[in-house]
Amino acid sequence: MRQLIAGNWKMHGLSAALSEIETVAETAVASAPNADILICPPATLVSRAAQAAAGRIAIGGQDCHPEPQGAFTGDISAEMLRDAGASAVIVGHSERRQYYGEDSALVAAKARAAWRAGLLAIICIGETESQRNLGDHLNVCASQLTDSVPQEARVANTAIAYEPVWAIGTGKTATPDDIAAMHAHIRECLVGRVGEQARGIRILYGGSVKPGNAREILRTPEVGGALVGGASLSAPEFQAIFSEASP
């Protein structure tokens, strides 16, 4: 399985940041020949990012509306992202769930929209700190997965990102044992939901992935890649992470 190392720039990046994408694109094939590298910049940069990447790395969106077009001021459809040069989109990031009240049914509709437009859907799930402290994390992630991942999910159109909310932007990461246990659990839930072919669907880990912990995380069983926030904003840091992808 080729690992997918995806950068999520969130609401960061003006035109000057395109040089980071050029730098990453120049080195990606040499430093991670067996991994897929993706950067999801803000929507305003997708088109120019795709030009800068020139097919050497993939460019994605951070969110999309379920409908292809319509009277939805401020929203962007999956078709628009595709038209701008994206080949993937993140859906159901915990920041969208938390700040915009997105529930798993909406996330599933967005995943279907991504597929309709021919995009890879990176569907995010993950428990909060209090849910983990209560011992509910496995159940929470299982139900988010069941409700957010439509049954048409396939290896070619879907990746899952497990991102414990308490590890995002905090510098805390789950231990390799915790990651392995959760990813194995997600794998079984996914197989139960979409069948045996789900064994090939990549399950990414996200939450404070940095150059210093990337190797350990990317060698953890059932980890099919990483979703990287803060450390993806700088080309050298992001390179240091994806150069640790499984050979």
Identify the active-site residue in 79, 163, 222, 244.
163
The single residue among 229, 241, 242, 244 that binds ligand PGA, judged by CB under 6 A, is: 229
Largest Cα–Cα distance in the chain? Answer: 47
Q: Catalytic annotation on 65?
A: no
Residue type, 145: L
What is the rounded distance in angstroms from the CA atom of residue 112 to the CA atom of residue 134? 32
- Could you tell me the smallest distance in angstroms from the CB atom of residue 152 to ligand PGA? 24
The contact pattern for ligand PGA, residues 196-225, with x = CB under 6 A and - = no contact, is ----------xxxx----------------
Decide if residue 228 touches ligand PGA (CB under 6 A).
yes
The single residue among 230, 238, 239, 242 that binds ligand PGA, judged by CB under 6 A, is: 230
Beta-bridge partner residues of 4 = 36, 225
Decide if residue 141 touches ligand PGA (CB under 6 A).
no
Please provide the distance, in angstroms rounded to a whole number, between the alpha carbons at the two ends of the chain. 10
The contact pattern for ligand PGA, residues 147-176, with x = CB under 6 A and - = no contact, is ----------------x----xx-------
- Helix boundaries (H) for the chain: 18-31, 46-53, 78-84, 94-99, 104-116, 129-133, 137-148, 176-194, 211-218, 235-242
* Sign, Cα dihedral of 5, 45, 95, 210: positive
- Could you tell me the smallest distance in angstroms from the CB atom of residue 225 to ligand PGA? 12
As a dihedral over the C-alpha atoms of residue 240, residue 141, residue 186, residue 106, rounded to 10 degrees, the angle is: -90
Q: What is the DSSP letter of 9?
A: -
Decide if residue 227 touches ligand PGA (CB under 6 A).
yes
The single residue among 3, 8, 104, 239 that binds ligand PGA, judged by CB under 6 A, is: 8
Q: Catalytic annotation on 93?
A: yes
- Could you tell me the smallest distance in angstroms from the CB atom of residue 124 to ligand PGA? 7
So which residues are the catalytic ones?
A: 93, 163
Which residues form the interface with ligand PGA (CB under 6 A)? 8, 163, 168-169, 206-209, 227-231
